[in-house]
Structure 1
Amino acid sequence: MSGRRYPESVDVAIVGSGPTGSAYARILSERAPGATIAMFEVGPTVSTPPGAHVKNISDPAERARAQAASEGPGERGAKVANPGAAKAGVRGARPGTFLLEDGYAFEGEDGLPVAAMSSNVGGMSAHWTGACPRPNDSERIAFLDDLDELLDEGDRLLGVTRNAFDSAPFGAIVRERLSAAVDAGRVDETKVQRMPLAVHRRDDGRLVWSGSDVVLGEATRENPGFSLFDESLAVRVLVEGGRAAGVIVRDLRTGEEHRVAARFVVVAADALRTPQLLWASGIRPEALGRYLNDQAQVVFASRLRDMPPLAEDAPTAGLAEYSGVSWVPFTDDMPFHGQIMQLDASPIPLAEDDPVVPGSIVGLGLFCAKDLQADDRVVFDDEHVDGYGMPAPRIHYRLTDRDHEVVERARQEIVRLAEAIGDPVGDRPFTLPLGSSLHYQGSTRMGVADDGTSVCDRDSEVWGVPDLFVAGNGVIPTATACNPTVTSVALAVRGARKIAAVLSQERTVAATASV
Structure 2
Amino acid sequence: MFFHSPSHGDMETEVFIAGSGPIGATFAKMLVDAGHRVIMAEIGAADSFTSKPRVDSPSAAGHSDEYSVTFAPNQVVVPGYHKKNEIEYQKDIDRFVNVIKGALSTVSVPTSNVNVATLDPASFQNTKEKPFISLGKNPAQNPFSNLGAEAVTRGVGGMTTHWTCATPRLCTDIERPILDTNPDTNNTLWDELYDEAEKIIGTSRTEFEKSIRHNLVLRTYQNIYKDKPAEEQHTFLPLPLACHRMPDPDYVEWHATDRILETLFTDDKKKQLFTLLTNHRCTRVIPKHFRAGEENEIEAAEVKCLLPHAEDRTNSTFHIRAKVYIVACGSVATAQVLANSNVPKDFQPPKNKDPRDLIIDTKLMPNLGTYITEQPMTFCQVVLDANLINSVPENPFDLGSWWDKKVNDHREHNPEDPIPIPFRDPEPQVTIPFSKERPWHVQIHRDAFSYGGVAENIDTRLIVDYRWFGYVEPQERNKVVFQQLYEDAYGMPQPTFHFEMSEDDRRRARDMMADMCSVALKIGGYLPGSEPQFMTPGLALHLAGTVRAGLDEETTVANTYSQVHKFPNLYVGGNGVIETGFGANPTLTSLCYAIRSANSIIEKLKPEPKA
TM over 0.5: yes
> What are the residue-to-residue correspondences of 1:89-488 with 2, within 5 Å?
101-102=137-138, 105-106=141-142, 109-136=144-171, 137-144=173-180, 145=186, 146-180=189-223, 191-205=235-249, 206-218=251-263, 221-222=266-267, 223=270, 224-240=272-288, 242-254=296-308, 256-282=316-342, 284-305=364-385, 306-307=388-389, 308-309=392-393, 310=407, 311-312=410-411, 313=413, 320-342=424-446, 345-347=447-449, 350=452, 352=454, 355-426=457-528, 428-451=531-554, 453-488=555-590
Secondary structure at the aligned position of 1:381 is classed as strand
Residue matched to 1:37: 38
* CA shift in 2, pair 1:139/1:100, >3 Å: farther
Structure 2 CA distance for partners of 1:100 and 1:375, relative to 1, 3 Å:
farther
Aligned partner letter, 1:379: V
Structure-2 change in CA distance of 1:66 and 1:175 (3 Å): closer
Work out whether residues 346 and 363 of structure 1, in 8 Å CA contact, stay in contact via their aligned partners in 2. no
Query: SS where residue 384 of structure 1 aligns?
Result: strand
- 2:366 match: secondary structure: coil
Q: Please say which structure displays the higher CA radius of gyration.
A: 2
**Preserved contact between residue 341 and residue 364 of structure 1 (Cα < 8 Å):** yes
Matched, 1:55 2:84: yes
Cα distance in 1, alignment partners of residues 140 and 588 from structure 2: 27
Counterparts of 1:71 and 1:303, CA distance in 2? 29
**How far, CA to CA, are the matches of 1:300 and 1:139 in structure 2?**
25
Match of 1:81 in 2: none
The answer to whether the 8 A contact 1:162-1:196 is kept is yes
Q: Distance in 1 between matches of 2:514 and 2:97?
A: 37
Q: Residues of 2 paired with 1:42 and 1:367: CA distance?
A: 30
Q: 1-side partners of 2:145 and 2:449: how far apart?
A: 24
CA–CA separation in structure 2 for the residues paired with 1:125 and 1:404: 30
Which position in structure 2 is the counterpart of 1:88?
Answer: none
SS state at 1:141 partner: coil
1:304 to partner: Cα distance: 2.1
How many residues are matched?
A: 477
Corresponding letter in the other structure for 1:268: A
Give the distance between the partners of 1:182 and 1:464, measured in 2 at CA: 52
Flag structure 2 segments of 5+ consecutive residues without an equivalent: 50-77, 108-134, 181-185, 290-295, 343-361, 394-406
Cα distance in 2 for residues equivalent to 1:186 and 1:498 = 44
The residue type paired with residue 331 of structure 1 is S
Note the C-alpha offset of 1:456. Answer: 0.5
- Counterparts of 2:217 and 2:373, CA distance in 1: 31
CA distance in 1, matches of 2:507, 2:221: 23
In 2, distance between residues paired with 1:182 and 1:375? 40
Deviation at 1:5, TM superposition (A): 5.0
> Residue 77 of structure 1 corresponds to which residue in structure 2?
none
The one-letter code sitting in structure 2 at the alignment partner of 1:340 is I
**Is the alpha carbon distance of 1:348 and 1:430 closer, same or farther for their aligned partners in structure 2, counting shifts above 3 Å?**
farther
Q: CA deviation at 1:25?
A: 0.7
Q: Please report how far the alpha carbon of residue 219 of structure 1 lies from its aligned counterpart in structure 2 after TM superposition.
A: 5.1
Residue aligned with 1:369, SS: coil
* Residues 126/392 of structure 1: CA separation in 2 closer, same or farther (3 Å cut): same
State the partner residue of 2:592. Answer: 490
Partners of 1:64 and 1:170 lie apart in 2 by: 21
Any idea what the Cα deviations from partners look like across 1:230-258, whole Å, max 9, x if unmatched? 00000110222721233110011125111
Matching of residue 14 in structure 1 with residue 17 in structure 2: yes
The residue identity in structure 2 corresponding to 1:367 is F
Cα distance in structure 1, aligned partners of 2:526 and 2:13: 57
**1: CA distance between counterparts of 2:265 and 2:604?**
19
The TM-score, its normalising length taken from structure 1, stands at 0.85
Partner deviation per Cα, 1:21-58 (whole Å, 9 max, x = no partner): 0010111122x21x110110000110112111111233
The verdict on how the C-alpha distance between 1:412 and 1:181 changes in structure 2, with shifts beyond 3 A counting, is: farther
Inter-partner Cα distance in structure 2 for 1:269 and 1:339: 26
Q: Which runs of structure 1 show a deviation greater than 6 angstroms over 4 or more consecutive aligned residues?
A: 60-69, 183-187, 314-319
Work out the CA distance in 1 between the residues paired with 2:605 and 2:522.
55
User: Quick one: structure 1 residues 295 and 72, their matched pair in 2 at CA, closer, same or farther if it must change by over 3 Å?
Assistant: closer
- How far apart in 1 are the matches of 2:99 and 2:451? 21
Identical residues among aligned pairs (%): 27
User: One-letter code of the match for 2:513?
Assistant: R
Instruction: Give the counterpart letter for 2:525 in structure 1.
Output: D
Mapped partners of 1:352, 1:128: distance in 2: 19
d(CA) in 1 for partners of 2:458 and 2:501?
A: 34
State the Cα distance separating 1:104 from its structure 2 match.
8.5
Q: Identify if the C-alpha distance between structure 1 residues 337 and 503 changes in structure 2 by more than 3 Å, giving closer, same or farther.
A: same
**Contact 2:329/2:574 (CA < 8 Å) preserved in 1?**
yes
Q: Which amino acid aligns with 1:253?
A: L
SS of the residue 1:392 aligns to: strand
Please report how far the alpha carbon of residue 424 of structure 1 lies from its aligned counterpart in structure 2 after TM superposition: 3.6
Residue 125 of structure 1, CA deviation = 0.8
Are the equivalent residues in 2 in contact too, given 1:166–1:324 (CA < 8 A)? no
